[in-house]
Amino acid sequence: MLTHEENILLTQVGRGTPCGELLRRYWHPVAAAAELTDEKPIRRVKILDEELVVYRDKKGSYGLVGEHCPHRLASLAYGRVDEEGIRCPYHGWKFDGTGKCLEQPAEPADSTFKDRIKHVAYPVEYLGGLIYAYLGPAPAPLLPRWDVLVWEHGRRWIVKESVIDCNWLQPMENSVDPSHLFWLHGDTAHLAPRVKKYAEKHEFTRFEYGIKKRRTTLPLSTAGKSEVDEHPLLFPSVLRHVAPFNQGKSVRHNLQIRVPIDDHHTQVFRANFVPSETERSPADAAVPFRFTPLKTAPREYKMDMVSAQDSMAWETQGHLTDRATEHLGVGDEGVIELRKLLKEQIERVQQGLEPIGIIRDPVKNQLIDLGVINERIGLYGNQSEHRECAAS
């Protein structure tokens, strides 16, 4: 359990809060690129408690600026884009992707007023079908080139799920909580058969990007063999996972990216990748996108879906779960380790140090292969071996 003060410390996402400042040291996706179209090139987004708009201008460049125009605060979400940037719908002030004010149509032609206006703007980058943003201090670190976003030997697609009505840390604690698999997802046959025929050993190891979670299933009879499932939590807000695909004929690698909207809401993006001998996903190709609702109404979850089962658990813990009243046991070792890591990283930022997992070396960032293992579905520790298995 945590004290009320510790709970607040580890969960708040706003600018100026200790955790919010830590979260601003990392890139977060704000939209799937496919969500911005010629018909609708602007979207309102909220991230880390900041109201923003993401847009694609007529040259195809992306921008992320404050939603409220610095003139008299009308919403740029109803604005227009051109080759240079975004224009406010109210009096036509225009801004580029750096927040520079380019035009103020109602001001005299020789006015320098626009030069003294600097609108909120953040760097954005496209990778693997997602538009990522960095809301922290300059210089921005490199956007991590996780394997799922960069691999080309197969098919990639992006899924955006219904907004989760709870704080971001609840889904992240779930990512280091392997004991929930059998109970929460056990009726979804491909994940964990309802009749439990094995014991489990769980290990959590820190590595340079977060925490590796290793589950070893131990057969209860001498006839079976033990199997390893190891995949990482990429600090602070991503789970790298893998699951069977196409009735177990292939595997679906994925990143589950939990983006803090504000203290009580989280947006999940999933980047999926299925290796294939016949399909290719060049880095500059358009990536298909779909929206997946997890509920039919507030608190009415589609409980035949694994992700809806998870979101049920996270939301019913409360918008911001009261960690002062919980009772953690030995089986919550991963959750305890994550909280410890998070607290340490908050303190590092407060001391002016760089937190875990920040990448600044382009050589290291060509393609970060996370070496996920899931022996039950044919993924072994050796990467080349697993690609053969996955493609067969």
Interacting residues toward ligand FES by CB under 6 A: 69, 71-72, 74, 88, 90-93
Nearest to 235 by CA among 181, 173, 288: 173
Q: Which residue is nearest to Fe ion (CB)?
A: 310
Instruction: Give the amino acid at 163.
Output: V
Q: Beta-carbon neighbour count of residue 168 at 10 Å?
A: 28
Report yes or no: 54 and 85 within 8 Å, Cβ to Cβ.
no
Q: Using CB under 5 A, count the residues that bind Fe ion.
A: 1
**Minimum distance from CB of 88 to ligand FES (Å)?**
3
Query: Which C-beta is closer to ligand FES: that of 93 or that of 209?
Result: 93
Tokens at residue 18, please? 């200790």
Q: What share of the chain is helix, strand, coil (3-state, %, to 5)?
A: 20, 35, 45
- Residue 78 Cβ vs ligand FES, minimum distance, rounded to whole Å: 10
Please provide the DSSP assignment of 221-248 as one string. Answer: STTS--EEEEEEEETTTEEEEEEEETTT
Nearer to ligand FES, 90 or 289 (CB): 90
Which does residue 310 touch among Fe ion, ligand FES, none (CB within 5 to 8 A, set by kind)? Fe ion
- What number of other Cβ atoms are within 10 A of residue 141's Cβ? 17
Q: How far apart are CB 11 and ligand FES at their closest, in Å?
A: 34
Strand pairing of 154-161 and 289-292? parallel
| Residue 69 contact among ligand FES, Fe ion, none, beta carbon within 5 to 8 Å by kind | ligand FES
Specify the residue, 348 or 376, whose C-beta has the smaller distance to Fe ion.
Answer: 376
For the bound state, the minimum distance from the C-beta of residue 73 to ligand FES, rounded and expressed in Å, comes to 6
- Segment lying near Fe ion (by CB under 5 A), choices 115-123, 233-241, 304-312, 368-376: 304-312
* Alpha-helix residue ranges (DSSP H) falling in the chain: 4-9, 18-23, 147-150, 169-174, 180-185, 306-316, 333-350, 383-391
Kindly state whether residue 315 participates in binding Fe ion, applying the rule CB under 5 A: no
Question: At closest approach, how far in Å is the CB of 93 from ligand FES?
Answer: 4
116 vs 225, which CB is nearer to ligand FES? 116
Q: Classify the phi-psi angles of 129: left when phi > 0, otherwise alpha if psi is within -120 to 50, otherwise beta.
A: left
Nearer to ligand FES, 105 or 381 (CB): 105
Q: Which is nearer to ligand FES, 80 or 214 (CB)?
A: 80
What is the smallest separation between the CB atom of 49 and ligand FES, expressed in angstroms? 22
- Quote the least distance from Cβ 66 to ligand FES, whole Å: 11
CA distance 360 to 143: 9
Site for Fe ion contains 310 (CB under 5 A): yes
Q: Which partner, ligand FES, Fe ion, none, binds residue 71 by CB below 5 to 8 Å per kind?
A: ligand FES
| Closer residue to ligand FES (CB): 72 or 299 | 72
Total Cβ atoms within 10 A of residue 385: 12
Contact 306, 191 (CB under 8 A): yes
Q: Which residues bind Fe ion (CB under 5 A)?
A: 310
